[in-house]
Chain A
Amino acid sequence: NAGVTQTPKFQVLKTGQSMTLQCAQDMNHEYMSWYRQDPGMGLRLIHYSVGAGITDQGEVPNGYNVSRSTTEDFPLRLLSAAPSQTSVYFCASSRQVGSNTGELFFGEGSRLTVL
């Protein structure tokens, strides 16, 4: 099992450019989510999904889009990058919704810089 795989690990964008951060998991997890972490801060939830075809907003959804067409993949799209979106992005997954497993599995992070 590879677990949760994020690509790319590093990315530099110019203001106004768009890009997609990829996240894939091979554990057949229903739940997937995206967090961002700014320097010296905790993680903030951007969007999450409780299954294929179902997504919802977290704490800081503005400027980001997500979709969940398969169980395995949960890409995060930045439509028009802004310097305020410079951050480290983490993707996470867990087993079934309603399952008392308590464990989120995180990827290694994608470090994004917007100039």
Chain B
Amino acid sequence: DAKTTQPPSMDCAEGRAANLPCNHSTISGNEYVYWYRQIHSQGPQYIIHGLKNNETNEMASLIITEDRKSSTLILPHATLRDTAVYYCIVSSYGGATNKLIFGTGTLLAVQP
């Protein structure tokens, strides 16, 4: 599975959009990009995933570059409750396994 690179930490003002970048330059054609977040010491929570097209759901938007070497998770209106560690993961989904390997993520601190 491809590795990802994320900044260790970011700040964002409450009410503003939070844009979290992720580099995955060795991603292969059948690998998806997943985003999870972990609030304090709770279990991680799924946010969104995509293959090559941009995706949007009620939580966030995922923008994947055309060459698929990087992506950005966008929280359109960050709140204090969005303060968490955000994990970007790339992994193949299908076949015999669908294991996800987590890195160290980005700590997003939403400031009042």
Contact = CB atoms under 8 A, between A and B. Distances in A.
A107 B101 CA distance: 17
A90 B38 CA distance: 12
B41 A109 contact: yes
Nearest to A30: B98
Interface residues of B, number: 25
Interface string A71-87: 00000000000000000
Interface stretch (A10-18, A61-69, A95-103): A95-103
B interface SS class: loop
A99 B85 CA distance: 26
A70 to B, nearest CB: 20
A92 B96 contact: no
Interface centre among B32, B43, B99, B104 (most CB of A within 10 A): B43
Nearest to B33: A102
Given A41-B104, A43-B44, A90-B44, A100 B97 contact: no
A40 to B, nearest CB: 8
Interface centre among B49, B98, B104 (most CB of A within 10 A): B98
Interface of B: 32, 34, 36, 41-46, 48-49, 87, 93-105
